[in-house]
Every structure is written in structure tokens, then in C-alpha cells.
Amino acid sequence: MRGVNAGVQAKVKAAQPKAIYSHCYAHCVNLVLVEATSTNQYTRNFFGVLQNLYNFLEASPHRHSKLESLMLELKSKPRIKSHKKLSDTRWGCRSDAIQAVYENFTAIKKALEEIEEQSSDGRVAADAGGLVFSIMKFEFCICLVVLKDILFKCRTVSDYLQREDIDIVSALQVVDTTVKTIKEMRNEAKFKLFYDEATEFADNVGIEISEPRARKISYCLDANWSVEHTPATYQDRLRVCFFYEVLDIILNEFQSRFNQESRIYLSLLGDLQKRKLSSDSLFAEISAHFSLDLASLKYESSLFVNDCAIDATKPYKMLKQLAEHNRPNVYIELTSLLVKLCTIPFTSASCERAFPNLCYLNLNSELPSVKSG
């Protein structure tokens, strides 16, 4: 789709050079998380254990019933989060799955231990014992605590980008705010808070924090192994190899996937929303791309930022107010530009929501003919 040589983007631009490529922002957030959780070893193993937990506990009604009964017995809150299945496309469910395991960890552990002790099937008992071994590690606890926070932040922005009333300027602002928030997390003080929370959680569920044996770098692989930096403690290793690495991957993916061609032209909308003039270089680039008169565009923009009759901040409402106050005849070039910029798509969520309804209508339209036949 996005290939610059043989993708749909390249084929469309071959027919219309002024076409602007824009990837769905909500999908971009999902792709950021896919890359972060599949590249890092700790997150990859963590989600593998979560998936195995769901597959094992939900494969049998008896196991599911045992877990539900233990959750009701041990839970003090009136609302109980049930165990969720992971999905490669709907990353909101991964946040729910982590939250469910975090809140019901004791019940899940007890259910697996009872299944291991009571099952007459050796394979089932072995699987239950293996899952207990996997979740009773401190690495699982630190991943549970850190990813619960990170995925919740990313889910919030993903849900916002799927709203029907969102505009492109607000979408860019939300993405920039998310990137800024994740950047502020990348420090030792924030990791110390996560580490302390994970330590407290491990103490409450009976997990011992043991220092794993440090791996030695073979002299055959690297002649300079003695001068290389290696994390001195287990906590340093988790901070460098897990926490910092995951945040760096997320930040790099946000930078690459949201640095789209459309962002350059849409920055003018953000300036108009803030009632300030854009730079001369931006005016020149936009006027050249959309075949607009540069002098008229700059003059009209200077009038627009001081026009008290136009107080809307959303682009489509700006156009509506321009029409209501007979301003299109005043802002000829600017109105033409706003119309073109507002047609740039930035999410396909509304189209995807409409598709199941179309299928439903199509099915209902065929029912009378089926019955008559």
C-alpha cells in the first residue's frame, strides 16, 4: 500500500502527481505497538505467555468455570474483569487482557495450581505447571506493570483517533502529546517507580526476586568483550534492555509512521487554528503544490487570523463560518486551500464501522427473495 516504488501510493501518484498519501492514523498507532512488542525479547515472551494463558484456560469449560469461581471468591470489587483474548488488529483488547491478569493474578495462579494437582491428564497438568512457572517470574511482573501503563496511554489515543467528530488538526495534536508523554517517561526516576510497584506486586503474590546469573560474552565472538558495558545489576538490565528499549522503539516508530507527506501541508491548518501566520517557506511550498497565488494566500491569511467573525477551530467549521459570513469571496485562495486540505483522509475507522452495516443491509435485502424461492 505505502510502497514508494510499486505500492498503491506510487500508482496513484503516477496518475496524479499532486495526490497526497496519508496512512490511517489509528492503524499507525497499532503498527507502532506491533513493532514494539514483537522486537523486544521481554515483551515478545510476555505476550506469548498471555496468549498461552487464554488458550489454556478457555479451552475447557471446566477450567473456565474454575477460574470464574475463584475470581468471585477472591475479588473484593463488584466488577470483575474477565480474561481477554489477544488480537493482532484490535490492540485495545491487549490493554484489557493485561488489566484482567493484573487484577486477577492470584485467582489465575490458584486455578492453574489446582488444575495441575487435580488433573488426571498428564499433558494438561504439565501445561498448567509450565504456565505457573512462567507467570511466577519477576520479569513477568515488571512487564505486566510497565505495559499496563504504556498500552493504556496508546489505547487512549487510538480510541480518540477513531472518533467520528475528530478533525485532522486535533489528531496531530493528540499524537504529538502522546509522543511527548512517552519521552517524559524515559528516565531512571520513572523506571524506579515502575520497579517499586512491580516489587510490591511480586511480594503480594509470593514471587521471589532472584538475581539471574550474568551471561559472559565469548572471547571468540568479540575480542573487546572485557571493555564492553554490561548492566551491573538485574535492575539495570531490565531498565536498559526492556524499559528503555521498548520506549525507544515506540518513539522511533511514532516518528517514522507519523512523519507523513500530508503533515507538512496540514501544519498550515494548525497555524490558522492558533491564529498565527505560517512561515514564508511553508506558504511557498503549499502554494506551489496546490497551484495557488502565493501573494494572495499570504495576504488572505494575514486577514483571516484577525477576523473576529471566524472563531471556529475545527477546519470544517471554519469553512462553514466562511460560507455563513460570505467570506469565500474575500478569502478566495484560502478557501480553496481549506477545501482541499479538509479532504485529506487521516482515518478509515468510519469506513470500517460502516462496512458491517452494509453487509447487514445487503443480507436483509436478499432475505425476501430467499423466502419467496
Q: Are residues 66 and 135 in the same domain?
A: yes
Residues 294 and 158 in one domain: no
End-of-domain residue from the set 257, 273, 291: 257
| pLDDT band, very low/low/confident/very high, at 78 (cuts 50, 70, 90) | very low
Largest CA distance in the chain: 83
Same domain, 156 and 205: yes
Average pLDDT over residues 206-233: 64
Instruction: Quickly state the pLDDT bin for 113 (edges 50, 70, 90).
Output: very high
pLDDT digits over 299-335, tens only?
Answer: 988 888 888 888 877 777 888 888 888 888 888 998 8
Rounded-to-integer distance, Cα 122 and Cα 62, Å: 16
Does residue 269 share a domain with residue 248? no
Tell me what pLDDT residue 80 has.
Answer: 47
Helix (H) or strand (E) holding 27: helix 25-39
Q: What is residue 72's three-state secondary structure?
A: helix
CA distance 280 to 295: 10
pLDDT confidence of residue 350: 60
Q: What is the pLDDT of residues 336-346, one digit of tens each?
A: 888 887 777 76
Q: Determine, yes or no, domain membership for 223.
A: no
Is 7 among the domain residues? Answer: no
Cell numbers placing 154: 496508546
Confidence of residue 373 (pLDDT cuts 50, 70, 90): very low
Assess if residue 335 is contained within a domain.
yes
Domain shared by 166 and 191, yes or no: yes
Taking CB atoms within 8 Å and a gap of at least 24, the contacts of 261-268 are 261/20, 261/21, 261/22, 262/20, 262/21, 262/22, 262/344, 262/346, 263/172, 265/20, 265/289, 265/341, 265/344, 266/168, 266/169, 266/172, 266/341, 266/344, 268/337, 268/341
Sign of CA dihedral 74, 80, 85, 88: negative
State how far the Cα of 313 lies from the Cα of 114, in Å rounded to an integer.
59
Q: Are residues 93 and 238 in the same domain?
A: yes
Say how far apart CA 170 and CA 151 lie, in whole Å.
Answer: 21
Q: Please write down the HEC assignment for all residues of 200-252.
A: HHHHHHCCCCCCCCCCCCCCCCCCCHHHCCCCCCHHHHHHHHHHHHHHHHHHH
Is 81:103 a contact under the CB 8 Å cutoff?
yes
Domain that holds residue 325: 263-342
The answer as to whether 38 is a domain residue is yes
Residues 244 and 314 placed together within one structural domain of the fold: no
Q: Is 196 helix (H, G, I), strand (E, B) or coil?
A: helix
The total number of structural domains that make up the chain: 2
- Summarised one tens digit per residue, pLDDT across range 132-179 is 999 999 999 999 999 999 988 888 888 888 777 777 777 788 888 889
Written as nine digits, the cell of 170 is 486535533
Residue 307 lies inside a defined structural domain of this protein: yes
Same domain as 253, residue 180: yes
C-alpha span between 91 and 239 (Å, rounded):
24
Query: Is residue 35 one of the residues assigned to a domain?
Result: yes
> Are 128 and 200 in the same domain?
yes
List the grid coordinates of 53.
Answer: 494463558
Going by C-alpha positions, the residue among 248, 308, 251, 249 that lies closest to residue 275 is 308
Which of the two residues, 233 and 166, has the higher pLDDT score? 233
Whether the Cβ atoms of residue 310 and residue 343 lie closer than 8 Å to each other:
no
C-alpha cell at 60: 475447557
CA torsion 139-178-253-20 (nearest 10°) is 160
| Dist CA 87 CA 215 (whole Å) | 34
Residues 55 and 99 both lie in one domain = yes
Domain membership flag for residue 269:
yes
Q: Does residue 155 sit in the same domain as residue 89?
A: yes
Tell which residue, 80, 52, 51, has the closest CA to residue 68. 80
Radius of gyration of the chain (CA): 27
Average pLDDT of the residues in 67-84: 68
Q: Per the domain annotation, does 17 fall within a domain? A: no
Per-residue confidence (pLDDT) for residue 136, from 0 to 100:
93
Pairwise CA distance, residues 183 & 160, whole Å: 20
Average pLDDT (199-224) is 73
Whether 190 shows a pLDDT value over 90: the answer reads yes
Kindly state whether residues 292 and 168 are assigned to the same domain.
no
d(CA 81, CA 68): 10
pLDDT of residue 166: 74
